[in-house]
Amino acid sequence: MKTDMASTLTNALSGLQVGISNAAAAAGEVQRLTTGSQEVQDAVQPLLKLQDSKNEVAVASKVVQTDKDTLGSLIDVKV
């Protein structure tokens, strides 16, 4: 059981890192496109990627919270 929880947390951490990295890249692209002479329309794709990244981080955070809650309930049952 311990290995499964460790694996879950490892996967969640990986999801958080990917989401944050993707968000930083998308934000940089939005900044580049909106400070230059580019059309504002060109920023739509990076803004959508930014929203996707937000969702990735939210899902990974929920996995961590669920894992924490599950561990807490297992400890309550065993005690």
Mean pLDDT in runs of 10 for the chain (79 residues)?
72 94 94 75 88 96 87 60
pLDDT for position 62: 94
Contacts 24+ apart (CB under 8 A), 63-68: 63/8, 63/11, 63/12, 63/15, 64/9, 64/12, 64/13, 64/16, 67/5, 67/8, 67/9, 67/12
pLDDT for position 6: 79
pTM (whole model) above 0.85: no
What is the domain extent for residue 46? 2-78
Structurally, the chain folds into a number of domains equal to: 1
pLDDT for position 67: 84
One-letter amino acid identity for 40?
A: V
